[in-house]
Amino acid sequence: MAGGREIKTKIKSTQNMRKVTRALEMVSASKIRKAQDLMKASRPYARQMRKVIAHVAQASTDFRHPFLQEREQVARVGYVVVTTDRGLCGGLNSNLFRRLLPAIKAWQDQGVEVDVVAIGQKAVQFFKRLKGVNLVGSVSHLGEKPKLESLVGVIKVVLDAYSANKLDRVFLAYNDFVNTMVQRVAIEALLPLPVVAAELEAVEEGKREASPNTPVAGLKLEQQHDWDYIYEPDAATVLEYVLARYVESVVYQAVLENLACEHAARMVAMKAASDNANKVIDELTLVYNKARQAAITQEISEIVGGAAAV
């Protein structure tokens, strides 16, 4: 059995650790409400963008934007991966990577190159170490109130690559906020839009699960009409602007969803860590009391034995 001084040192270190976990829990609890408010405030804009894209895509314009054209030969795909900047949030990031790696490997087994745009420090560190994947862009430390201006650069890298035929498919991977206790990994098609529509049809038919609050939910592209809009100044300029804003809104919404997931996961993880620290302290205190009692009993026995010998 360990000595009393060693046990007291362990108890003290565990108590200090408990102070840290409690502080992190309270900080996340205070920030989660603001993160949820930001997430919910951006959803109406994302939904309105879906309606606009759905109507524009159904029109029979002579100009066909590259985002609306599905390519048969897939030689290179891109992933926009959204993670946290800091750790101590349970298995939030590891669950995302665990779901993402098999999808990347499936493309690589088909001889397809994979490019990654990382949003968040954890994604940057992970994909820098991962072999066989090209990290073409990254952004991190977006803060508690992410700004769209900070994301425009990495989003433009993906959009320009797709428009230049350097990418044939683009996917978005992030953590979808369901509630405080549940965060779901979401890997969804971002481009081209017909692939997005096909995935949404699978969701509606029950072939796969998805949250109804995802930015792409409800988008319909399969129906075509014989009418067209009047574009000013021209269809190419209008579609280029609107479709770019649509992709930006989807990625920005994913960042806000992931931020809410981060605070919720960290609050739950730190609450569990504090509870475990309490259990460890109770167990160590019991061991310390037993050790002290054993030492006292031994001293008494030695005193009694010495007195009897005299």
Q: How many CB atoms lie within 10 A of CB 197?
A: 20
The pLDDT score that the predictor gives to residue 81 is 93
Query: Looking at residues 220-246, what average pLDDT do you find?
Result: 70
Q: In which order are the strands placed within the sheet that holds 113-119?
A: 134-139, 113-119, 76-82, 169-177, 183-191
- Per-residue pLDDT of 271-282, as tens digits, reads 888 888 888 888
Mean pLDDT of 108-123: 90
Query: What is the model's pLDDT at position 58?
Result: 63
Q: Is the pLDDT of residue 216 over 80?
A: no
pLDDT in tens, 13-48: 888 888 888 888 888 888 888 888 888 888 888 777
Contacts of 78 (CB under 8 A, 6+ apart): 114, 115, 116, 117, 136, 158, 161, 162, 167, 169, 170, 171
Fold of 32-264: Pyruvate Kinase; Chain: A, domain 1 (3.40.1380)
Short-list 255, 300, 288, 306, CA closest to 82: 255
Q: What is the pLDDT of residues 61-101, one digit of tens each?
A: 667 777 777 777 888 899 999 999 888 888 889 999 999 99
Tell me the pLDDT tens digit for each residue of 142-172.
888 888 888 888 898 888 888 888 888 889 9
The answer to whether residues 98 and 92 touch, using CB atoms and an 8 Å cutoff, is: no
The model carries a pTM of 0.79
Average pLDDT, the chain: 81
pLDDT > 60? residue 219: no
212/303 Cα distance (integer angstroms): 76
